[in-house]
Copies of this chain bind each other. A is one copy, B any other.
Amino acid sequence: MKGYSQFCPVAKGAEIFNERWTPLIIREMMCGSKRFNELKHGNPMMSPSLLSQRLKFLEAAGVVEKKVHKGESAEYFLTKSGKDLGEVVVRLGLWGLKWARSRLTREDYDPQLLMWDMRRRIDSSGFPQRRVVISFMFEDMPSNRRAYWLIVDNGEVDLCVKFPGFDVDLAFVTTSKSMADVWMGYSTLKREIRKKNLTLRGGRDLKNSIDDWFSYSLFSNPEELRESLS
């Protein structure tokens, strides 16, 4: 992006921050993504070449640091500058949560993104000490993005887009909007169940302990999040 030719620090900040995808890359890193493909999963619509380009730019800008361990995969970290910029990203998100909800379109409710975020934040310690399989069925989606499975085993959480073959312990049957609204804190599980937008099928024990393991978006508790910022 061409610069603004202004010495104003807002302009200089915007020259970095306003590059397309940049806030979303930083959001991913704030949420713990380190590897190239993790960042890509968090932004599935972004082409790998563009991600590569942005990471190089952010590295040159002193926002991101690339660490290459011999024999291992490279990892990307936020520098101190990057973490500071991450706080701006979070504040933009808080603004969006409060003021841009009405701009959400049907296209925005991408279940793949939702599942990727759930996979990341789910609390595996709240599960019984055995393999647990939870399925999600989004009835409004075409068949190729309708079904997902979370497999929690030994503290690890895996996301599958094809039936993994294991018995399903608990099944969510819902729509992408209902599930995302619950995830964001716009609605609650109870409300969506009552409105018949969401059905839970299966293991009574998992249902009863759902508050122990079901997780919500980073933005589902704005007050707490805001207080965590300096």
Contact = CB atoms under 8 A, between A and B. Distances in A.
Nearest to A87: B91
A8 interface: yes
A1 B103 CA distance: 14
Oligomer copy total: 2
A98 B110 contact: no
Contacts of A7: 104, 108-110, 113-114, 180, 184
Give the bracket for the number of chain A residues in contact with chain B.
35 or more
A27 to B, nearest CB: 5
A216 to B, nearest CB: 13
Contacts of A101: 9, 12
B96 A11 contact: yes
A50 to B, nearest CB: 13
A97 B4 CA distance: 15
A127 to B, nearest CB: 26
A163 interface: no
Interface of A: 1, 3-24, 27, 43, 45, 61-63, 81, 84-85, 87-105, 107-110, 113-114, 117, 180, 184, 217, 219
